[in-house]
Amino acid sequence: MLLENKVVVVTGGSRGIGRAIALASAREGADVAINYWGDNDKSYGKESAVESIVAEIEALGRRAIAVEGNVALHETGIELVRRTVQAFGRVDVLSSNAGICPFHAFLDMPPSVYETTVAVNLNGAFYVTQAVANQMKAQGTGGAIVATSSISALVGGGMQTHYTPTKAGVHSLMQSCAIALGPYGIRCNSVMPGTIATDLNADDLANPDKRAYMEKRIPLGRLGAPDDVAQCVVFLASERARYVTGASLLVDGGLFVNLQ
């Protein structure tokens, strides 16, 4: 029980990697506050995505709340922390995971696409981290912040010229926050997922030729699963990583080293 009796906040926690992080945290003994944005209409069976994840966590014997809000807005981070403390009394761990990646060509990219991607991925990580860090400082017992960056922080993407800089920014944000927040016992790290199979890329991966091409480039021979990332987040959030801060962990099956 690596996170026993801890309170974990997960942004973008109703789907994909965030959902796996929320569940993995609960399995390791944590109560979980799940931030989501507009997922109510994306059905998982008879329940919405966020209703489903709350029910799954409660079935594990842990408590969960769902807090809707766009992390691109400064006030969302403040409200998320307020609601979490109201429900559970404290915040011990932040998984800053919310992000978007609308593929688009560079030369004709509308400003709105670029600005929205930066607002959600980078501004959102900054605002939520700031709000949580202030709460952790006030508590005086330290904490752990793990942000979801990407292998794209280290490599280019012709259809991701708006996305890759945001993930490099998240990586850099955690390095700087490790310095700024270390004196308060707050550790800040990031994970860098490679190609992870989620519902967001399911249509793309349904093409057998494309899936085979992707798998061939990965030394471990398979695409990642959301729980592959979640287990690394749990480790970095736990006391087993108590002397790890300012680090970034590639979770990519070896893809990055194979691209060099």
Query: Catalytic amino acids?
Result: 150, 163, 167
Q: Torsions phi, psi of 120, nearest 5?
A: -75, -50
CA atoms of 57 and 208, how far apart (whole Å): 34
> Which element (helix H / strand E) includes 94?
strand 93-96
Q: Answer whether 149's CB lies under 8 Å from 191's CB.
A: yes
Distances in Å between the Cα of 152 and the Cα atoms of 39, 164, 236 are 25, 5, 20
Question: According to DSSP H, which parts of the chain are helical?
Answer: 16-27, 49-59, 74-88, 111-118, 124-139, 164-181, 202-205, 208-217, 226-237, 255-259
